[in-house]
Amino acid sequence: MKIVSFVFFIIGIFFLGACAPKQYIKQNAALIIFKTPTFQYADLGFIYENEEETKVEIYSNAQPLMSLKIAKETICMSFLKCMPKETFNQKVLSAYYPKDTLVHIFHGKPIFDQVGLEKNRNGFTQKITSPNKYEIIYSVLNDEIIFRDTINQILIKVKKQ
């Protein structure tokens, strides 16, 4: 009888653990600007990270305005259904971007396999161009990330507080 109770106890813990909210190991407050031809958000927010996903939330008047969850294979945006990263890039950014471009930007890591990377003591800058596809200037300096693609009219700016 004790073994049966113990087994039910262990099963119950697994079920409750599966319903528990994800714990983030890193969080930063930031001024976030996210502008594309389809979406435009700019306000204070938070960037949360754990091993499985990155979550970006932008607030306005203390109310959540936009939520973006970037997992290993999908991106979920508050007003869009979850979709593969390639599909998100095609609909919101550019179909020519590698699938992990957005998560690399929010983590402040080099993009496009470090093409055009120029390191300096405070961070790095990348200039990446492909005629009629993209013209990107991406810089990570101190606590500020700026990604600008003039062809696709995209600006992502993150200034950590």
Question: Which tens digit of pLDDT belongs to each residue from 69-94?
Answer: 999 999 998 877 899 999 999 999 99
**For the domain 20-160, what is the CATH code?**
2.50.20
Order of strands, sheet of 144-149, starting from the edge strand that comes earlier in the sequence:
83-84, 74-77, 63-71, 53-60, 40-49, 26-35, 154-160, 144-149, 134-141, 123-130, 117-120
Which residue stretches of the chain have pLDDT < 50? 4, 6-20
Q: What is the pTM of this model?
A: 0.84
106: amino acid identity, one letter: F
Which token pair is 104?
């690399």
Domain ranges in the chain?
Answer: 20-160
pLDDT at 64 (0 to 100): 84
Which pLDDT value is given to residue 22? Answer: 61
Per-residue H/E/C for 51-68: CCEEEEEEEECCEEEEEE
Q: Could you tell me which residues come within 8 angstroms of residue 139 by beta carbon, excluding any fewer than 6 positions away?
A: 123, 124, 125, 126, 145, 146
119/153 Cα distance (integer angstroms): 25
pLDDT score of 3: 63
